[in-house]
Chains A and B, each alone.
Chain A
Amino acid sequence: MNPGHPEHTALTRTGSGIGTRTGAGMSAGLGAGSGGADLADILERVLDKGVVIAGDIRVNLLDIELLTIKLRLVVASVDKAKEMGIDWWESDPALSSGARRGELGAENARLRARVAELEQRQEETR
């Protein structure tokens, strides 16, 4: 343990040995710039877990919840946040069902295009 190095989280083992077997770019996608710590793992804990006690300075739960939503909006537009792996709030049911709707929408569009294409071809052969 060497607490002197800000980027080093000695107690966190991310993907070393375990988990890199498949070579799927874990380290490329997560924990950019850190000494192995995955920022999303840390934020998941320090922001979202731990003992919640009101301090004298009021940064209340609602603020933190707002924060995650705001951050999500930031993430949608800022590559840096993506590099850092900040995206756990995308699992918010309301938001992820939105994502699923998007997927269905895209497939619908593809199918509609295909139908139009087929109809046109039929027209032409007539």
Chain B
Amino acid sequence: MNHEELLYAYAVTRDDGTPGAGDLETLTGVAGESVRPVRHLGLTTLVGQVPAAGFDEAALRASLEDVAWLEKAARAHQRVIDAVSAGGACVLPLRLATVYRDETGVRRMLADRHAQLGAALDRLDGCVEWGVKVHAVGSAGQAPAATGSSSGAGPPAPRAAMSGRDYLRSRAAARHADEEGARREDEAARGIHAALTALAEQTRIYPPRQGSLAGPSGRNVLNAAYLVRRESGGRFTSAAAGLAGLAPEDGVRLELTGPWAPYSFAGQATTGQPTAGEEIP
């Protein structure tokens, strides 16, 4: 291995879960490189040989701040993880930009972390991750109950005809309606989470997405990941579809992504005990 090349590591599996050379043949990684296994002590790390000029410390530091580069790398990283886990193997995805100098470094990592990695692979074996996001779809069904003296049409606006008192009153009414709607949406999200948690081995709650995107998408009231056994996948997705069908009645919309490799649960290999049945804060 020459000094101009580094090894970008994507994932760790057990030797027997490693895809065959044929399956890896068409696969390309973050630098368009081919992906190959590095085996040690019964574990395999999938790596790609990448140019040092693009993946040494300084280059990565700069690249990670380039949104276009980041998107390309993230998608490529995910593509490799997907391809490896598609075969049914348990795959521990490594975080983006885990880079080694050579195979010796990769083997040393497999030896140093052998117990933790093995335990995580055992724990997650046969499971995949599903992502569920619930968004509030806005106040279509919940007209602001303006009880003030102003006309019912339109939102209260501090215009000439309205007295200050009426303005404040209608603002309060609108706010009350908003709060009522938000309460209903939160409750719906809690219900969905409880129903899906019952079908999952473990759950993880992500911070809800907020900000500019909330406009078209609606307020994100639940952003969660569920660790589900592969054989229960059908049951989980049917349940999600059923809940999605009912969601509009509660003013929310449900979105399902997956199956993913168990990203949200693999990290526990380094942080200790899993916490099942996590509650929505």
Contact = CB atoms under 8 A, between A and B. Distances in A.
Interface residues of B, number: 84
Contact of B266 (A6, A18, A50): A50
A59 B9 CA distance: 13
Interface string B97-108: 111110001000
Contacts, number: 228
Interface in B129-146: 131, 135, 137-138
Interface in A29-58: 29-30, 34, 37-47, 49-53, 55-58
- Greatest chain B CB density within 10 A among A25, A47, A50, A91 is at A50
B83 to A, nearest CB: 4
Given A1-B86, A91-B208, A99-B211, A45 B67 contact: no
Given A26-B255, A55-B105, A57-B99, A50 B64 contact: no
Contact of A81 (B67, B76, B95): B67
A14 B9 CA distance: 27
B211 to A, nearest CB: 4
A82 B75 CA distance: 17
Query: Would you list the 3 A-B pairs with minimal beta carbon distance, nearest first?
Result: A91-B207, A19-B255, A57-B99
Interface of A: 1, 3-4, 6-7, 9-15, 17-19, 21-22, 24-26, 28-30, 34, 37-47, 49-53, 55-59, 63-64, 67, 70-71, 74-75, 78, 80-82, 84-88, 90-92, 96, 99, 110, 113-115, 117-118
Interface of B: 6, 9, 12, 26-28, 55-57, 60-61, 64-65, 67, 70-72, 74-83, 85-86, 92-101, 105, 109, 113, 117, 120, 131, 135, 137-138, 158, 164, 167, 206-213, 215-218, 223, 240-241, 244-245, 247-248, 253-260, 263-264, 266-267, 269-270
13 contacts: A1-B83, A3-B26, A3-B80, A9-B79, A18-B241, A21-B244, A22-B253, A25-B217, A46-B74, A46-B77, A51-B95, A55-B97, A59-B60
